[in-house]
Amino acid sequence: MRPFAPQDRVLVSPRYLAGAGIDRLADAIGPLVHLFGWPSEHDRASGRISVHSPDGSLFVNFNPRHTHGHWWSLAHHEPYWEARFTRQTPIEAIAAVTQALPQLLGDDRHIDRIPLTTTPPSRRSPN
């Protein structure tokens, strides 16, 4: 097995080693703001961060003081759907979802940097 390069992406196993990743919020929010230009708001007093798509149809909220531990909320308005993640959810999993959001809205400017697969895991060939 070859050693991993700094730019290689890997999955963490066992799951508990990944952790919530509070120090890596930029992995989940950064691409939306810096690559795709999504507007954001940050309330430093509460730690709450809100990011929304340019068309206002999709919202990503991070709230580390949520009373039930649901730190992350992603919501789309038409059609309506919502995803919530607790403070225990590995940041890698949250980043995988948030980085796919622009493409789901039809923005494929950075498709080479954030590739999506259309093949279910059960049909992928082993490496």
- Give residue-wise pLDDT tens across range 16-30: 555 555 557 888 898
- Most confident of the following: 52-56, 63-67, 76-80, 84-88: 52-56
CB count within 10 Å of CB 104 equals 12
In this predicted structure, the answer to whether residue 2 has a pLDDT above a threshold of 70 is no
Evaluate if pTM is beyond 0.85.
no
User: Percentage of the chain with pLDDT > 70?
Assistant: 72
* Terminal C-alpha separation, the chain: 12
In tens, the pLDDT along 28-59 reads 898 899 999 999 999 999 999 999 999 999 99
Q: Which amino acid is at 9?
A: R
Q: Contact 72/62 with Cβ under 8 angstroms?
A: yes
Radius of gyration in angstroms for the set of CA atoms belonging to the chain, rounded to a whole number: 16
